[in-house]
Amino acid sequence: MTTCPDCGTENDESARFCDNCGRRLGETNAGSGVKTAAEMKADAAVDRKPDHEPVVSGVPIADDGLPVGQDLDGVAGGERLIWEGRPSRLWSPRMALMNRYKLTTQRLMIEFGFVGKTTEEVELYRVTDVGVKQHPLERITGMGDIYIASGDSSKPTRFLHNVPDPDRVKDLIREASRQERARHRVMLREDF
């Protein structure tokens, strides 16, 4: 295995270019005094505390240096669980019993059902807009509905109903989708 000096991704010995960042492999800066991008990022992380969660090798890292969330697939730099929740029991006890929401670094999963179960997934690189809707009583109790607009042809708009702390969850979805678009090198139409 060959390690990319820029991003740290493990590549096959026969690979000429990095699978993650596209850098030509076999070129080294050893002894030249030139720092790679990964070395500059490590130096910058020591010099200052980041304002948000940085991403190292595709894994979100918290301020304490530990990876965010639970590892789901056992692969280094793979899918991690960022948030999971249910609708509020106060506003919708039936939905709280039957619905579950999970946000990972790659997708949003919405599970419905009590005995039988249906799972819908939204790939985060397809998310185009995220917003929060609250009526006055929901604002008082800190609940709200989150809507997610995506490029999914089967159901372009999805709702997460009666979610506690909806602004925080909306920001998690927005940041995770931004990182996933960057990882897939996908641009939204309005970015052109």
| Structural domains of the chain, with CATH | 1-42 (no CATH), 71-191 (2.30.29.30)
Asked if residues 59 and 67 have their Cβ atoms less than 8 Å apart, the reply is yes
pLDDT at 31 over 50: no
| Band (21; pLDDT cuts 50, 70, 90) | confident
Length of the chain: 192
**How much is the pLDDT for 131?**
96
Q: What string of DSSP letters covers the chain?
A: -EE-TTT--EE-TT-SB-TTT-PBTT---TTTTPPPHHHHHHHHHHHS--SS--EETTEEB-TTSSBSSEESS--TT--EEEEEE---TTT-HHHHHH-EEEEESSEEEEEE-SSS-EEEEEEGGGEEEEEEE--HHHHHHTEEEEEEEES-SS-SEEEEEEEESHHHHHHHHHHHHHHHHHHHT---GGG-
**How much is the pLDDT for 56?**
47
Mean pLDDT over all residues of the chain? 78
**How much is the pLDDT for 5?**
76
Top-confidence residue, 165 or 48: 165
| pLDDT tens digits along 45-82 | 544 444 444 454 555 555 545 556 777 777 777 788 99
Contacts (Cβ under 8 Å, ≥6 apart) of 98: 112, 113, 114
Nearest to 59 by CA among 9, 16, 98: 9
**How much is the pLDDT for 50?**
43
**How much is the pLDDT for 153?**
81
Take residue 80 and report the two structure tokens written for it: 């991690």
| pLDDT tens digits along 96-148 | 889 999 999 999 999 999 889 999 999 999 999 999 999 999 999 999 999 99
The residue written with tokens 């505390």 in the block is 49
- With a threshold of 0.85, does the pTM exceed it? no
| Band (189; pLDDT cuts 50, 70, 90) | low
| Band (32; pLDDT cuts 50, 70, 90) | very low
Take residue 94 and report the two structure tokens written for it: 């039936």
Residue type, 138: E
